[in-house]
């Protein structure tokens, strides 16, 4: 059978993730140090795992409300009020999802009509372009630069807006660059959103992982922005809970209701065991988050310093757990550089173009990797760089 005619045009139009393609090559090699997958090297803190175990022991194996357990939604609303400085009603403005991944999909599908433009800063998380396309939107990337710390500048955003612009996706701190945005620029971005009547999907999954005394500011907390922002957050990164698959969206009630309709018919609810774990994470997880954050901070400083010592220009990112060194001066494309590094030295890092064309010439290295492994990876990278140029 010719299956190509059976698959939706929207799905056929999106490529597989470049990260996955690259990691298929790593499978089966046990000599490789991976700086590849964007995942904490920690297991979830034990008290969080215990909460999941106790929940199962108590026989909590049922569905929950579509929006999620009320006790968890209350905690999320408390957390959002304290951490982001934005108040949400747990009854109708908080939706618990299967990771930020599901929340992003729900947000895009509930907002877009065919042909609506979705603007986002690039290099960016691999799901934004496919997510927009699969929701029948038109992706509009705005390139950011190393010189600007991979932040989104209001001028660059203004130049990308058209009468068809409907949605802006923001992700600060940014995967894959670790870029952050200044409050001043965020105010400028917010002003443009009001002028152009945009809804913002703000993916703040790395917001706890800030360094250099930088304080995270959510666009939802700026005057006039709460009403036009869907704030996405979750437990995967700061709480090291990727496998629990738990996230949430906070948004004004009509937007939450629209997302809930899709969620209700496609997912029904997030897993109850993970919701029990998330409740514990919010109640008692702050100390563990701070310990992990401090350790990422140390590792960031080490990796940035080592890259610059060996002559590979690497900006010091203000957040997340990625560095994005610039390998353009070494005369190879991102793909060639990454393949060569993997083949000759057994170090896996993701070619920057996996995060959009503006990532070409860079490499994403996740430093949420054990210190001794990181040290060894940098020795190998130095040796590899020495063979180039």
Site residues, ligand PMP (CB under 6 A): 38, 99-101, 125, 171, 175, 203, 205, 234, 236, 242, 247
User: Residue 167 or residue 205: which is nearer to ligand PMP going by CB?
Assistant: 205
CA–CA distance from 289 to each of 45, 48, 207 (Å)?
Answer: 9, 12, 11
Cα-based distances in Å from 381 to 150, 176, 270: 23, 19, 41
Which residue, 162 or 266, is less far from ligand PMP as judged by CB? Answer: 266
Three-state SS at 224? coil
Lookup: tokens for 245 = 């698959």
Question: Based on CB atoms, which residue is closest to ligand PMP, 126 or 378?
Answer: 126
Q: CB-wise, 32 or 100, nearer to ligand PMP?
A: 100
As a whole number of angstroms, the distance between CA 250 and CA 259 comes to: 10
- Cβ-based nearer residue to ligand PMP, 321 or 384: 321
Q: CB-wise, 175 or 218, nearer to ligand PMP?
A: 175
- Minimum Å gap between C-beta 72 and ligand PMP is 15
Closest approach, Cβ 57 to ligand PMP, in A, equals 26
Distance of CA 317 to the CA centre of its chain: 15
What tokens were used for 314? 């690497």
Encode 113-124: b = buried (16+ Cβ within 10 Å), e = exposed: eeebbbbbbbbb
Burial of 3 (C-beta count, 10 Å sphere; 0-12/13-18/19+): exposed
Distance of closest approach, residue 247 Cβ to ligand PMP, in angstroms: 4
Find the shortest distance in angstroms from Cβ 244 to ligand PMP: 9
Three-state DSSP state, 274: helix
Whether residue 37 contacts residue 23, with contact meaning beta carbons closer than 8 Å, is answered with: yes
Q: Which residue has the tokens 């998380």?
A: 125
**Closest separation in Å from C-beta 12 to ligand PMP:** 23
DSSP string, 51-66: HHHHHHHTT--S---T
Cβ distance to ligand PMP smaller for residue 125 or 324: 125
- The residue number with the shortest CB distance to ligand PMP is 99
DSSP 291-341: HHHHHHHHHHHHHHHHHHHTT-B----SBTTEE--B-GGGTS-HHHHHHHH
Question: Least distance (Å) from ligand PMP to the CB of residue 254?
Answer: 24
With respect to ligand PMP, which residue has the nearer C-beta, 32 or 240? Answer: 240
Q: How far is the CB of 248 from ligand PMP (least distance, A)?
A: 9
Specify the DSSP class assigned to residue 102. H
Nearest distance from residue 20's CB to ligand PMP, in Å? 12
Q: Smaller CB distance to ligand PMP: residue 256 or 274?
A: 274
State how far the Cα of 7 lies from the Cα of 24, in Å rounded to an integer. 24
Name the H helices within the chain: 9-13, 18-26, 46-57, 70-79, 99-111, 128-134, 154-160, 183-195, 253-266, 272-284, 286-309, 334-345, 371-386
Q: How far is the CB of 360 from ligand PMP (least distance, A)?
A: 20
| Strand duo 247-250 + 199-203: pairing | unpaired
């Amino acid at each position: 059978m010719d299956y190509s005619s059976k698959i939706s045009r929207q799905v056929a139009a999106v490529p597989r993730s470049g990260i996955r393609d690259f990691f298929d090559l790593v499978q089966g090699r046990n000599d490789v140090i991976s700086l590849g997958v964007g995942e904490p090297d920690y297991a979830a803190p034990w008290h969080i795992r215990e909460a999941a175990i106790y929940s199962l022991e108590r026989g909590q194996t049922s569905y929950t409300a579509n929006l999620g357990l009320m006790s968890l939604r209350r905690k999320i609303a408390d957390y959002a009020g304290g951490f982001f400085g934005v108040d949400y009603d747990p009854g109708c403005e908080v939706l618990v999802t299967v990771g930020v991944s599901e929340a992003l999909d729900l947000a895009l599908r509930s907002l877009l009509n065919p042909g609506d433009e979705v603007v986002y800063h690039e290099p960016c998380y691999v799901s934004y372009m496919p997510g927009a396309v699969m929701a029948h939107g038109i992706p509009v990337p705005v390139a950011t630069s190393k010189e600007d710390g991979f932040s989104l500048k209001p001028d660059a955003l203004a130049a990308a807006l058209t009468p068809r612009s409907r949605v802006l996706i923001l992700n600060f701190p940014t995967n894959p660059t670790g870029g952050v945005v200044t409050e001043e620029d965020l105010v400028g971005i917010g002003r443009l959103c009001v002028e152009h009547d945009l809804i913002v999907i703000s993916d703040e999954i790395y917001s706890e992982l800030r360094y250099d005394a930088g304080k995270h500011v959510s666009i939802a907390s700026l005057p006039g922005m709460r009403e036009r922002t869907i704030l996405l957050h979750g437990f995967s990164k700061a709480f090291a809970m990727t496998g629990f698959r738990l996230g949430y969206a906070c948004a004004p009630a009509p937007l939450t209701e629209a997302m809930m309709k899709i969620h209700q018919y496609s997912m029904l609810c997030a897993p109850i065991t993970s919701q029990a774990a998330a409740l514990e994470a919010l109640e008692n997880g702050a100390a563990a988050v701070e310990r992990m954050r401090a350790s990422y901070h140390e590792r960031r400083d080490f990796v940035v310093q080592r890259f610059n010592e060996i002559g590979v220009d690497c900006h010091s990112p203000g957040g997340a757990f990625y560095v994005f060194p610039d390998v353009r001066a070494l005369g190879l494309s991102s793909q060639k550089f990454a393949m060569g590094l993997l083949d000759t030295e057994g170090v896996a890092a993701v070619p920057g173009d996996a995060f959009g064309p503006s990532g070409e010439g860079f490499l994403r290295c996740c430093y949420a990797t054990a210190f001794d492994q990181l040290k060894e990876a940098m020795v190998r990278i130095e040796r590899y760089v020495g063979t180039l140029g």
